[in-house]
Structure 1
Amino acid sequence: MNVLIIGSGGREHAMAWKAAQSPKVDKLFAAPGSDGIAAVAECVPIDVMDFEQLAAFAKAHRIDLTLVGPEQPLVSGIGDFFEKEGLKIFGPSAAAAQIEGSKSFAKALMEKYNIPTAHYRTFTDYQAAGNYLHEVGAPIVLKADGLAAGKGVVVAPTMEAAGQGLKTLMKDKKFAGAGARVVIEEYLEGEEFSLMALVHGGLVVPLAIAQDHKRAFEEDKGPNTGGMGAYSPVLQIAQTVVAEAVRTIVEPAAAGLVQEGRPFTGVLYAGLMLTEKGPKVIEFNCRFGDPETQVVLPRLESDLIAAIQDVMKGIRPQLRWTDRTAVGTVLASRGYPGSYKKGEKLGRLDALSENALLFHAGTRKSGTDWLTNGGRVLLVTRLGDSLRAARDAVNRDLENIQTDAVFFRKDIGHRALEAEAKKA
């Protein structure tokens, strides 16, 4: 088979790394890819939103399967475009991708199909939204309705923070059109986890769960980011809870999309909160999570490409997982998620131990040097016999390549270790 992966970040690097291990794959391409991804795939300089060029490339190079990393092309209809051109793509139609493209659509779907989630109201009028905030009080969560690169969420512990968040989203238009409509929802408390599944219509094949760390700084402080690290498995979430989440959330969502005439094919991601009343949905995404993919795929012992092919034929694959723990930590540009410099020199990446998995997110190569080229620069994943062993190994690796231009959290997985300490 010839396989094409669309995207250029750390998630796409992990997808390409895993796809390259499949005995089914003869030739692997990435568009546009990156200097890091070039180690496992041939990179072609085509933008993720240039559907015509991507489809022409897929035809010319006899691509048998295309996988899409980022949400923007999916929400904009790359799935429909490829299908129309007779090309196989593991990604939803634009109509199905609305589960991520519009928070209000996702909430309405959940309401209609009795999928547990936070109570909410949707607003397009700034004044009306402000009045509602004063009615319900804090803590409260505000979300830009459209795509905002994982950053259009304000978790407001106080009324002052809620008012400022609403102004940022609706008046200051920080996320442009994404904030023209805002969803205001109840603040959920509990243990967060990410559940991704390979989906084709009503067929749902869950992957191992992970826990992401969204806040920029240690002890979950600082602004929300696209994710500073993740780990899998999440031992403080019982398998019975995961099974309940699949049964009450992911399967009804897939079935609901079929009912609505917009069947989903691809990776359905559920960001979940384990509340006192069971798992509830925080958000849905229409693709692999980032950075969760970088810790889930290294634990998958099965062939990812074979599994996706099975799912697309309506066959349920039996997935095999290692019992070992994967910890992945992001090295980010100083200043992220705010403003930061690009082109800063990194330490020697060849100083990493041979067991380290390195996924490039925002880097570029200049001669023999690696330079920063984004907010999240790279992620290092290690597998270990325990969470602490894996995390210690990652921290040692990152300390070897850290410079003043970048930073990382040393406490990825701290919630699991705290839960473990309480049990002891």
Structure 2
Amino acid sequence: MIVLLLGSGGREHALAASLAKSPRLTRLIAAPGNPGIAEHAELRDVSVDDLDGIVALAKAEAVDLVVVGPEAPLVAGVVDRLADAGIKAFGPSGAAARLEGSKAFTKALCAEHGIPTAGFRHCRDAASAHAAVDAFGAPVVVKADGLAAGKGVVVAETLAEAHAAVDALFESAGAEAVVEEFMEGEEASLFALCDGTTALLFGDAQDHKRAYDGDEGPNTGGMGAYSPAPALSPAIAEDAMARIVRPTVKAMAEAGTPFVGFLYAGLMLTSDGPKLVEYNARFGDPEAQVVLPRLKDDLLDLLIAAVDGDLAARKPRFARETALAVVMAAKGYPGPHEKGSEIRGIAKAAARPGVTVYHAGTALDGDRLLAVGGRVLAVSAIGADAAEAQMNAYSAVDLIDWPEGFCRRDIGWRAAAQAEEG
């Protein structure tokens, strides 16, 4: 099969590495890709925002399947455009991708179908958002309604902080907000592989959203992750599938907008059981870099089954080992940061047993590897448990020579401590 992979981040590098293992694959093309993805795929200079260009590329290369990595083209309707051209694509339609594209849409769906989530108010102007903040009290959560690359959320500890977040959000014309009650508990991520009617559990993970050690600093797109998540026991995961994920997939199918693709449920593990924080309509980043290395099955075979509506008899299998990834980001991220600094030592780090260095924001200048993004690398390692995976990952991180970068030094601290105690 000829497969076209859309995207250029660490998630797409993990997808490319996994797809490349499939005996069903004859050619893998990536658009636009990155230097890491280039180790597995032929790169094409087509942006994920260029829907016409994507369709033209898929036709020109006689592509059998398009795999869409990032959320923006999904919400923009790239799968619909490809379907109109007679090209199979793995990912939700634009209507189904509203589960990520509009937090208000998802909250309304939860309310209608009794899916456990935080109390909320959908606010179309600043005045109503300020009123909602006062009604909920602090702490309170203020979210931008649309896509925000994992950074459009403020967990406000004080009313003053929440009101400031509302003011900042509504500086943009046409902005809408969802103001939510604060939920107590531990966060975890659950992934489902969906074919429109069937939703299969496809691994779990925990990530670290805050920029700095000790969960301090601003929210980011994710500074590291590990899988499996000890807090998400098999019983809790099945409860989340039964009360959150499967009812969502059923509701979407009944509405005539069946969800095909990876459905990523961000969960809060509360004293009342798991509750939905929000959905993503694609795999997570950096979660893909710890879930996919543990997959024991043929990823391409599973994606084809999802597109063909043939998942009912499948059950994805994962290795028992733990995978842990440390994100290396440009200093200043998620705020302003410099681009163009050189990174050395990746080959030495990747040569360590069980280690993969996934590229996210990198580019080549001749033989020099440059940092061109905020989150630039994810150093992923396998271990018998979280403590060993953590040790393996950081030993590889320490071999990378990039003075202009930084990383958290405590990724997986909770799971590693549990492993050492056990």
Structure 2 length-normalised TM:
0.97
Please state if 1:393 is matched with 2:392. Answer: yes
Q: Equivalent residue for 2:317? A: 320
Offset at 1:137? 1.1
Offset at 1:250? 0.6
Q: Equivalent residue for 1:139? A: 139
Q: Equivalent residue for 2:58? A: 58
The question of whether the paired residues in 2 share the 8 Å contact of 1:301 and 1:320 is answered with yes
Please state if 1:211 is matched with 2:202. Answer: no
Q: Equivalent residue for 2:117? A: 117
Rounded Cα–Cα distance in structure 2 between residues aligned with 1:48 and 1:314: 25
The question of whether the paired residues in 1 share the 8 Å contact of 2:213 and 2:408 is answered with yes
Amino acid of the residue matched to residue 406 of structure 2? Answer: F
Rounded Cα–Cα distance in structure 2 between residues aligned with 1:212 and 1:380: 14
Please state if 1:375 is matched with 2:374. Answer: yes
Offset at 1:132? 2.5
Offset at 1:419? 4.8
Between the two proteins, the alignment pairs up a number of residues equal to 418
Q: Equivalent residue for 2:240? A: 245
Q: Percent identity, aligned pairs only?
A: 46
Please state if 1:348 is matched with 2:345. Answer: yes
Rounded Cα–Cα distance in structure 1 between residues aligned with 2:366 and 2:52: 33
Secondary structure of residue in 2 paired with 1:94: coil
The question of whether the paired residues in 2 share the 8 Å contact of 1:77 and 1:93 is answered with yes
Rounded Cα–Cα distance in structure 2 between residues aligned with 1:157 and 1:26: 52
The question of whether the paired residues in 2 share the 8 Å contact of 1:36 and 1:364 is answered with no
Offset at 1:377? 0.5
Q: Equivalent residue for 2:27? A: 27
Secondary structure of residue in 2 paired with 1:321: coil
Q: Equivalent residue for 2:91? A: 91
Structure 1 ranges of 4+ moved more than 3 A: 417-421
The question of whether the paired residues in 1 share the 8 Å contact of 2:4 and 2:28 is answered with yes
Offset at 1:249? 0.6
Secondary structure of residue in 1 paired with 2:14: helix
Q: Equivalent residue for 1:360? A: 359
Q: Equivalent residue for 1:74? A: 74
Amino acid of the residue matched to residue 169 of structure 1? Answer: L
Rounded Cα–Cα distance in structure 2 between residues aligned with 1:190 and 1:141: 14
Offset at 1:418? 4.5
The question of whether the paired residues in 1 share the 8 Å contact of 2:92 and 2:259 is answered with yes
The question of whether the paired residues in 2 share the 8 Å contact of 1:300 and 1:320 is answered with yes
Q: Equivalent residue for 1:43? A: 43
The question of whether the paired residues in 1 share the 8 Å contact of 2:188 and 2:231 is answered with no
Structure 1 length-normalised TM:
0.96
Secondary structure of residue in 2 paired with 1:240: helix
Amino acid of the residue matched to residue 399 of structure 2? Answer: N
The question of whether the paired residues in 2 share the 8 Å contact of 1:258 and 1:264 is answered with yes
- Per-residue CA deviations over 1:8-51 (Å, capped at 9, x if unaligned) read 01000100110000000000000011122111100000111111
Offset at 1:420? 5.3
Rounded Cα–Cα distance in structure 2 between residues aligned with 1:134 and 1:6: 43
| 1:117-266 → structure 2 map (5 Å cutoff) | 117-171=117-171, 173=172, 177=174, 180-266=175-261
Cα 1:203–1:389 shift into 2, 3 Å? same
Amino acid of the residue matched to residue 393 of structure 1? Answer: N
Rounded Cα–Cα distance in structure 2 between residues aligned with 1:183 and 1:12: 29
Please state if 1:286 is matched with 2:285. Answer: no
Secondary structure of residue in 1 paired with 2:379: strand
- For structure 1, the 5+ residue unaligned runs are none
Rounded Cα–Cα distance in structure 2 between residues aligned with 1:417 and 1:38: 33
Amino acid of the residue matched to residue 24 of structure 2? Answer: K
- Per-residue CA deviations over 1:99-149 (Å, capped at 9, x if unaligned) read 111110010011111110000001112122212222321000000000111
Amino acid of the residue matched to residue 298 of structure 1? Answer: P
Offset at 1:92? 0.9
Secondary structure of residue in 2 paired with 1:184: strand
Rounded Cα–Cα distance in structure 2 between residues aligned with 1:314 and 1:144: 33
Offset at 1:168? 1.4
Offset at 1:369? 2.0
Secondary structure of residue in 1 paired with 2:357: strand
Rounded Cα–Cα distance in structure 2 between residues aligned with 1:361 and 1:183: 30
The question of whether the paired residues in 1 share the 8 Å contact of 2:387 and 2:419 is answered with no
The question of whether the paired residues in 1 share the 8 Å contact of 2:387 and 2:415 is answered with no
Secondary structure of residue in 2 paired with 1:400: coil
The question of whether the paired residues in 2 share the 8 Å contact of 1:236 and 1:419 is answered with no
Q: Equivalent residue for 1:304? A: 299
Offset at 1:61? 1.2
Rounded Cα–Cα distance in structure 2 between residues aligned with 1:35 and 1:413: 27
- For structure 2, the 5+ residue unaligned runs are none
Worse-matched range after superposition: 303-312 or 325-334: 303-312
Offset at 1:166? 1.0
Offset at 1:318? 2.7
Amino acid of the residue matched to residue 383 of structure 2? Answer: G
The question of whether the paired residues in 2 share the 8 Å contact of 1:192 and 1:272 is answered with yes
- Per-residue CA deviations over 1:296-324 (Å, capped at 9, x if unaligned) read 00000100011111222333323221111
The question of whether the paired residues in 2 share the 8 Å contact of 1:199 and 1:265 is answered with yes
Worse-matched range after superposition: 337-346 or 129-138: 129-138
Rounded Cα–Cα distance in structure 2 between residues aligned with 1:37 and 1:201: 29
Worse-matched range after superposition: 72-81 or 361-370: 361-370
Rounded Cα–Cα distance in structure 1 between residues aligned with 2:136 and 2:268: 21
Worse-matched range after superposition: 401-410 or 219-228: 401-410
Rounded Cα–Cα distance in structure 1 between residues aligned with 2:372 and 2:90: 28
